Amino acid sequence: MSDILVKDLFSDQHYAEDQTITLHGWVKTIRSSKKIGFIELNDGSTIKNAQIVMKASDLDNYADIAKFPISSTIAVTGKVVYTPDAKQPLEIHADAVVLEGASDSDYPLQKKAHTYEYLRTIAHLRPRTNTFYAVFRIRSLAAFATHQYLQAHGFNYLNTPIITGSDAEGAGEMFRVTTLDMNNLPHTEDGKVDNSKDFFRKETNLTVSGQLEAEAFALALRKVYTFGPTFRAENSHTARHASEFWMIEPEMAFEDLDDDIVTIEELIKAVVSYVLDNAQDELAFLNDNVDDHLIERLEKTRDEKFARLTYTEAIKELEDADQDFEVPVYWGLDLEAEHERYLCEHIYNKPVFLTDYPKEIKAFYMRANDDGKTVAAVDLLVPEIGELVGGSQREERRDVLAEKIKDNHMSEEEYGWYQDLRKYGETVHSGFGIGFERLVMYVTGMKNIRDVIPYPRTPGNADF
RNA sequence: GUGUCUUUAGCUCAGUCGGUAGAGCGUCGGCCUGUUAAGCCGGUUGUCGUUGGUUCGAGCCCAACAAGACACGCCA
């Protein structure tokens, strides 16, 4: 198809005045009177619409066109006319408008604001709205920028298993994967389900993290990252949790917590910068209609160094704050959302790294600090979202790790391979995990994770 | 999982003191020579979430159930 795209019409690539072109697209709206009418045409190549001018005198099917229902697909042939004084830089004066696919008149999207809740019920049509057009184009750009930054910095893209036989660090409820007949389950002699009869001859689940598997590859390819689907069967009802989401998990050998933090900051800035450079129209729309501080916040994220403080320093800041928290602050507390928000929205008003958390509230694989109380962990807190990134330097010392696995009552057998990584040439290494949807929320200003996933899965909802 | 709130036309909502329901938008028809979520005139649109109860009478009062949203928790 040698069509001209609306995107190209509005780009630097100039078309001659009066040049005849053909566009294919969807009717966003028609405004017509007896002798002249206007179509706003969107062809999917840009969030912007092309204005088609129709004169009854030029079109023998003018009366029919004026009645095309919204969202009908049409082909327009006409001349480019520049209109520097109008709201749009140019328009197309139609010589022919052909209906390709008429929309039914019960098309559910009107020329007005709909609630996000309603739009979720028509997830197959919501990408036709400006907001979701912008969100999903930006989601694509953010994914590309992530790959681009990591590839340019020596990371190898790694696909860790989606079906897993281990319950990873015991982090949360998992979705069971089975081919057993649920109406006729095989049982062992003591009455339990006989998993040895299942497809994999054992109990299997969908992954909750590829981190441990990624560590093994970092200790061979030096720098790796996963970027794939992740599943949590938690019964969470929040704007920030989904049952199926995408996670980016870089792992780096020979890098400590400070190196880890440098990479996190650079990666976030690279993604934000790429979106600022390549989604100006989408960001402008979102800034006008969704979050009027969006662009300002993104520019600040790109240009200013992130704040960094230790957990212990953060506790002091919170204790000194002249604000009453619902949950009182003390050293050892696993910070609540209200505390995190206060730190990054009131005190710093930008992304904040918190490091060196008490070991009791962090995972077993995080490296123990010399103080005996904290671990080399880092969380990145950002305004509006909260925790965007969680990472750590990994415990590379064979004996320390073995003790932690024992203390946590974890299966020696199941984590044998993980301990082998220390047995055969241990080294300092670090990594982190980014909830991709939370990153998309941050760069679009959207407030609900369900509105940055094409077809979101949450408890009780797996439609489409 | 806990708490709060919501459910009335295709969408967004109003509905007073309990007396069988309305607006805007959409849609349909008409008018209009430059519109920008176009404008003007007219028509159309309902198992008031479900079930049961109170009442002469329930959208409204009561109970149970259901669906959804938000906040918190868990986390990314």
> How many Å from the CA of A213 to C1' of B19?
71
Nucleotide nearest to A432 (CA to C1'): B76
Q: Calculate the angstrom distance between C1' of B34 and CA of A115.
A: 33
The integer distance in angstroms from the CA atom of A447 to the C1' atom of B4 is 19
Q: Using the structure, give the distance in angstroms from the CA atom of A9 to the C1' atom of B9, rounded to a whole number.
A: 41
| DSSP 8-state assignment for residue A54 | E
Q: Integer distance in angstroms from CA A309 to C1' B23?
A: 55
Question: A320 by DSSP, 3-state: which?
Answer: helix
SS3 call for A53: strand
C-alpha to C-alpha distances, A6 to A38, A70, A132, nearest whole angstrom? 16, 18, 18
Cα–Cα distances in Å, from A54 out to A17, A81, A167?
17, 13, 63
* pLDDT reading at A123 higher than 60: yes
Residue pLDDT, tens place only, A280-323: 999 999 998 888 899 999 999 999 999 999 999 999 999 888 88
Strand nucleotide closest to residue A109 (CA to C1'): B11
Which nucleotides in chain B lie closer than 7 A to a protein CB? 1-3, 10-13, 25-29, 31-39, 67-76
CA separation, residue A291 to residues A238, A301, A311, A351 (Å): 20, 16, 30, 17
Nearest nucleotide relative to A171: CA against C1': B75
CB within 8 Å of A157: residues ≥ 6 apart? A147, A150, A151, A224, A225, A226, A227
Nucleotide nearest to A53 (CA to C1'): B34
- Tens of pLDDT, residue by residue over A355-367, are 999 998 999 999 9
> 3-state class of A228 per DSSP?
strand
Contact A437, A242 (CB under 8 A): yes
- Looking only at the bridges linking them, the beta strands covering A50-55 and A204-206 are unpaired
Between CA A386 and C1' B70 the distance (Å) reads 17
Q: Which residues of A315-354 are buried (b: 16+ CB within 10 A; e: fewer)?
A: bebbeeeeeeeeeebeeebebeeebbbbbbbebbebbbbb
Nucleotide lying nearest to A437, CA to C1' measure: B76
CA–C1' gap, A297 and B3, in angstroms = 32
Spanning CA of A4 to C1' of B32, the rounded length in angstroms is 33
Dihedral angle at the C-alpha atoms of A420, A404, A366, A164, nearest 10 degrees?
60
Nearest nucleotide, C1' to the C-alpha of A55? B33
DSSP secondary structure letter of residue A387:
E
Please give the Cα distance from A171 to A168 (Å, whole number). Answer: 7
- Predicted confidence (pLDDT) per residue in A404-463, tens digit: 998 888 888 888 999 999 999 989 999 999 999 999 999 999 989 999 999 999 888 888
pLDDT digits (tens, 9 = 90+) for A167-186: 555 556 888 899 999 889 99
State percent of chain A over pLDDT 90: 62
A29: nt with nearest C1' to CA? B37
pLDDT of residue A261: 97
Torsion of CA A61, A65, A66, A67, to 10 degrees: 120
CA of A326: nearest nucleotide by C1' is B72
What integer best gives the mean pLDDT of chain A?
Answer: 91
Distance A93 CA to B73 C1' (A): 59
The residue with tokens 């030029």 is A58
pLDDT band at A211 (very low <50, low <70, confident <90, very high): very high
> In Å, what is the separation between the CA of A108 and the C1' of B58?
32
CA closest to B32 C1', residue:
A33
List, in order, residues 6 or more apart from A353 with CB less than 8 Å away: A261, A264, A265, A306, A307, A308, A309, A378, A379, A380, A381
Q: Å between A131 CA and B43 C1'?
A: 34
Look at residues A293, A289, A257 and name the one whose alpha carbon lies nearest to residue A382: A293
Q: Which helix (H) or strand (E) segment is A297 a member of? A: helix A294-303
Supply the pLDDT for residue A172.
67
Closest CA to B29 C1' — which residue? A67
ipTM, two decimals:
0.85
Task: Specify the pLDDT at position A2.
Answer: 56
Residues A389-403: pLDDT tens digits? Answer: 999 999 999 999 999
**Percentage with pLDDT > 70 across chain A:** 98
Q: Residue A150: which of A249, A276, A247 has the closest Cα?
A: A249
pLDDT of residue A450: 92
Amino acid at A373: K
Q: Please name the nucleotide lying closest to A88, CA to C1'.
A: B36
Confidence band for A112, pLDDT divided at 50, 70 and 90: confident
